[in-house]
Structure 1
C-alpha cells in the first residue's frame, strides 16, 4: 500500500507525515512540515484535545487558587492533578505548533520531555489522591492536621521530582536522534526509555488497585459497624465515604481505560509498525486528562459553588462550604 502511495505522489508534493510513515512506520515524527502541506488529521485531533484539556484544567486551577476555603490536603492534590493536566494540554498544543512551524530537533526534544513530565505528574498525582483517600479513612479524626498537609506536600514533591527527572532524560541524551534503529513507537524516545515509562505506569496502576481494594475493605467494615450501632452521625460519615469511594472508582476506571492500551502498546510495539497504531492508543490516553476536571467539577459541591462564584458571583465563600469529610471527593 505504501508503494502505491509513493507512486501516485511525486516527491515534490508528497505529504511529509505520510512519507515519514513509509520509512519508520511505528514512530511519531516530531520534525516540522511547511504550512503549505496537508496536516496529519491525528495531529489535529491531539491538538484539539490539548486545547480542551488546557481550558478545563485552567478553570480548576483558578478555582482552587482563588478560593481560600480550598486549602485542605485533598484540594492541594487535586490542584496538582489539574496543573499537570493543564501542562499536558499546553504541551500537546506546542507539539503541534513546533512540528508544523518550527524545524528544530532541540525544540522537539524539549517538547517531548515536557509532555513526558506533564503526563507522568498527572499519573503520579492520581496515585497521591488515592493514597490520600486511604489515609483519610484510616485517620479521619486527625486528617485536617498540619501533619497531613505536610504529608501531601511530601507526596507532591516526590511526584513532581520524579516526573521532572523522567522528562529530562530525552533532553539529556537518552533519545534515538543519533541512532534511528533504537527508536521506539514514539520517536525520539528510545525503546528502553519508553519501556521504563510503561513499566512505571503499571507499577503505579498496581499500587492504585491495591489502595483501592484496601479502601473498599475499610468502607465495608464501617458499613458493618453502622449496621450494628445505627448511629446517625456514623451513617452520615459512611455516606460521605461511599461517595468518595465511588468517585475513586470512576477515576480509577477512567484512568485504566485511557492509559492501558497505550502503555501495553509501548511494551509490545515495534518502530516498524504503522504509526496509526500509536496515534490510536495515544489519543484515548489524553482523554483521561480531559475527564478528570469534569469528575471533580460535577461531583464536588465546594468546587461547584466556587465555580459559580468565579463565573457569576452567585455564591459567597463561607466556613459552611468547608468540607466536613476528607472523603468528599
Structure 2
C-alpha cells in the first residue's frame, strides 16, 4: 500500500521522537559474555559453535565500541592476572640476584635460575592472556590467542621440567657425593637446560602448528584452545613426572638418612644427629612434594577427565592453585638457600645480620 510523502514524513518524525526502548542490561551482559571478543586460552561456559569464543560476534555495548573487551570482567581472571603479576615480580627478583652475584654460578643455581625464568614467563603469560581478553579491541586475531596459549604451555612445561631437573641434581649430589662437583660442569648443565627448553618450546608451539580446537570447538579441552587429546597427553606426562619425582625424593631421603647415621656413629651422638637429620629431611620432603601435589594434582586429573562442556568455575578453581605453585617455588627453592639469602641481605640492606649463619649444604638439606 502506497503512502503520500507527507504521511511518510510524519511517520518518520514520530519514530524519531519516540525511539524503541533499549534492551535490558542483563541481555546486553549475556550477549557480551557469550560472544567474547577474544578466543581465550581459559575456559568459557559454552561448548557449542554458536557460543564459542572463536566466533566474536559484535557486542552492542559502549565498552566494546570504545575499544575495551566488552562484558563484565570475571573475578577469576582478575585473580589469575594478579597471581601472574606477583609471580613475575617475585621470580624477576630471583633472576636479578642470580645474575648480579658472581658467586652464584654453580650448576645448582643455574637450575634454580631456569625455574625462576619459567615461572616468570608463566606470570607474563597470565598477564598477556588477561590483556588480550579484556583490554584489546575486537575483533581479535586468532594467532594472538594461540600465541598466548603457547607461551603458557611453554612456561609451565619448563617450570615442571626444571623442578624435575632440580630433583635429579639433588639425587646425584648425594648418590655421587665424591665425584659430583667434578662431573657436573657448567657446560654440561647449560646443554641439558638448552635441550629441555627446546623441548618445552616444541610443546608450546603445538597450538600454533594446528593442534588446537579452532575449527572444531567440540574437541576443546577445559583450557581453550588446547584440544582434549593435547590436554590428556600433558596430564599423563605430569602424573608420570610426579611419580618419578616421588621416587627420587624417597631415594634421597634414604641416602640422607644413611649418611646422617654414618656421621652420627663417627661422632658418637647417634640419637641426636639421626633424629635431627631425619626430621629435617622429612619436613623438607613433605614441603616440596606436598606443595607440588596439592597445586597440580587436582588440575591434572581434572584435565584428563573433563572437557569444555564442564562449568568454567571448576576449571578456574583448579587452575588458580596450579598457577600459585609458581608463586611458591621461589620460597622453597631460592629464598631458603643460604647463599641467596646472603645476596638478598647485601642487596637490600648492604650488610649481613649478626644472627645470620651461612653454612654449606649438607645431606640433610633434601
TM-score, structure 2 length as denominator?
0.77
Please name the residue that 1:24 is paired with: 47
Q: Distance in 2 between matches of 1:307 and 1:257?
A: 29
Please say if residues 109 and 188 of structure 1, whose CA atoms lie closer than 8 Å, have aligned partners that are also in contact. yes
Please say if residues 300 and 328 of structure 1, whose CA atoms lie closer than 8 Å, have aligned partners that are also in contact. no
Q: Distance in 2 between matches of 1:104 and 1:110?
A: 10
Please name the residue that 2:101 is paired with: 67
Q: Distance in 2 between matches of 1:136 and 1:201?
A: 24
Please say if residues 35 and 53 of structure 2, whose CA atoms lie closer than 8 Å, have aligned partners that are also in contact. no
Q: CA RMSD in A?
A: 3.1
- After superposition, give the CA deviation of every residue in 1:276-315 in whole Å (9 maximum; x if it has no partner): 1111110000110001112234422111111122223224
- SS of the aligned residue for 1:14 comes to helix
| 242-251 vs 256-265, greater mean Cα deviation | 242-251
Please say if residues 31 and 108 of structure 1, whose CA atoms lie closer than 8 Å, have aligned partners that are also in contact. no
Q: Distance in 2 between matches of 1:246 and 1:176?
A: 43
Runs of 5+ consecutive residues of structure 1 not aligned to the other structure = 1-6
2:129 is the alignment partner of 1:95: yes
Distance 1:206 1:22, change over 3 A: closer
Query: 1:226 pairs with 248, 263, 284, which one?
Result: 263
Please name the residue that 2:168 is paired with: 131
Please say if residues 28 and 185 of structure 1, whose CA atoms lie closer than 8 Å, have aligned partners that are also in contact. no
Q: Distance in 2 between matches of 1:35 and 1:76?
A: 40
Q: Distance in 2 between matches of 1:182 and 1:144?
A: 49
Matched positions, count: 317
Q: CA deviation at 1:245?
A: 6.4
Runs of 5+ consecutive residues of structure 2 not aligned to the other structure = 1-23, 37-43, 57-63
Q: Distance in 2 between matches of 1:31 and 1:326?
A: 57
Query: 1:303 pairs with 340, 345, 366, which one?
Result: 340
Please name the residue that 1:9 is paired with: 26
- After superposition, give the CA deviation of every residue in 1:95-154 in whole Å (9 maximum; x if it has no partner): 000111332211000000000000000000000000000000012223222534344334
Whichever structure has more helix as a proportion of its residues is 1
Larger Rg: 2
2:134 is the alignment partner of 1:117: no
Q: Distance in 2 between matches of 1:302 and 1:248?
A: 21
Please say if residues 63 and 303 of structure 1, whose CA atoms lie closer than 8 Å, have aligned partners that are also in contact. yes
Q: CA deviation at 1:197?
A: 0.9
Please say if residues 35 and 52 of structure 2, whose CA atoms lie closer than 8 Å, have aligned partners that are also in contact. no
Please name the residue that 1:187 is paired with: 224
| 244-253 vs 127-136, greater mean Cα deviation | 244-253
Please say if residues 213 and 226 of structure 2, whose CA atoms lie closer than 8 Å, have aligned partners that are also in contact. yes
Distance 1:292 1:211, change over 3 A: same
Matches within 5 A, 1:247-266: 247-266=284-303
Distance 1:78 1:106, change over 3 A: same
Q: Distance in 1 between matches of 2:340 and 2:285?
A: 17
Q: Distance in 2 between matches of 1:296 and 1:41?
A: 30
- After superposition, give the CA deviation of every residue in 1:204-248 in whole Å (9 maximum; x if it has no partner): 11110110111111122223323432269xx99997897566434
Please name the residue that 1:78 is paired with: 112
Distance 1:325 1:291, change over 3 A: same
Q: Distance in 1 between matches of 2:35 and 2:338?
A: 51
Distance 1:97 1:28, change over 3 A: farther
Q: Distance in 2 between matches of 1:220 and 1:266?
A: 37
Q: Distance in 1 between matches of 2:334 and 2:274?
A: 22
Q: Distance in 2 between matches of 1:135 and 1:275?
A: 42
